[in-house]
Amino acid sequence: MHTIVLTDFGLPVQTALTDGITSNLLLAASCLLITNNMRYYLPRQERYWYVLIISLALSAVWLLALRLTLWTFFSTDDAYMDMLKQSSVLRYGIAFLMVSCMAMMSLSWYTQQEQKETDARKADAEKLAKDAELYKLRQQLQPHFLFNSLNSISALTGSQPEKARHMITQLSDFLRGTLKKDELVWSSLEEELQYLQLYLDIEKVRFGYRLQTNVVCDETVSQMKLPAMLLQPVVENAIKFGLYDTIGEVVITITAKNSNGSLEVSVKNPFDPVTTQPLHGTGFGLSSVQRRLFLLFARHDLLQTKNDTDYFITTVTIPQIL
């Protein structure tokens, strides 16, 4: 296009072609320079002033380089040199538009890339923080349960040493399974119930015949997923409020079902409303479960508790996102 315009003004084809090639090569170099400049230095608050000033300056440098280069080719052609001088303002304007356009495109592109990198770093940092908090919550549950078990073993050592030895063996199996699960984020309901049974076996050594459990689980939900070791603190809370203030036999009922595509697990325990206040004293266990669910799903409604006459029911809903 540059060559055609010059030939229309009466310049020889060879002269017009040399002018066009030289002008556009220098202009391409200027645009490449501004692009690399934006790549390594991205202006912030002064970005628009920066683009304006650098475009004006670079266009002036381009025009000077063009005139010097063309002078070496056509210094003896007075008619061409006169045309070059008269067209300098127009050439400068076109160069400014091209350079400033490339500068704005580069600014927009690298700003977008930088924002993507910032968002990615922020997402990684948030994920690390969330994973760290989840790990901390899970680690807090271990000593919480371990101290209770060790206290029970200590109490049984003198009066019932055989039970104490049996409980130590079960505790060892439980902790070994816990260590294997530490690296797993999710497990199936079937695996979680097997792990939970180890915990209940230990508790049954503590409470004897007083602790009875009833697990109602449909086979269709056995392979549905949930966060590993999520149910133990819920069941521990049920045992706490179901057995600590009673002396008779207590049945803890665990029910699992598919609720609109989500796994819904309910833990039901009897309680004495006179001596127990479960709605106000759910303790660390349930609060940790609620926090884990929020960190994983960003929802506060996945753990529900209710007082149904003489029963306290905790319901956990786990969306199936895997």
CATH classification of the domain holding 192: 3.30.565.10
Single-letter code of the amino acid located at 219: E
The predicted structure's pLDDT at residue 277: 53
**Are 73 and 170 members of one domain?**
no
**Are 78 and 207 members of one domain?**
no
CA 117 to chain centre: 14
> What does the pLDDT look like over 272-308, one tens digit per residue?
766 655 444 445 578 888 888 888 888 889 999 988 7
Separation CA 94–CA 233 (nearest Å): 72
**Which of 92, 120, 148 finishes a domain?**
120
Q: What is the number of domains present in the chain?
A: 2
> What does the pLDDT look like over 202-241, one tens digit per residue?
888 778 788 899 999 888 899 999 988 888 888 988 888 8
User: In the structure encoding, which two tokens stand for residue 52, read together?
Assistant: 């304006």
Domain that holds residue 244: 160-318
Q: Are strands 311-318 and 303-308 parallel, antiparallel or unpaired?
A: antiparallel
> What does the pLDDT look like over 117-174, one tens digit per residue?
888 887 776 776 766 666 665 565 556 667 777 887 887 787 788 888 888 887 887 7
Q: Is the pLDDT of residue 316 over 90?
A: yes
Separation CA 260–CA 6 (nearest Å): 74
The secondary structure element, H or E, covering residue 256 is strand 250-259
Beta-sheet strand order (sheet of 303-308): 211-217, 250-259, 262-270, 311-318, 303-308
First-to-last alpha carbon distance for the chain, in angstroms, is: 58
Q: Looking at per-residue confidence, does 278 or 249 come out higher?
A: 249
The predicted structure's pLDDT at residue 166: 81
User: In the structure encoding, which two tokens stand for residue 61, read together?
Assistant: 């440098």
185: pLDDT confidence band, cut at 50, 70 and 90?
low
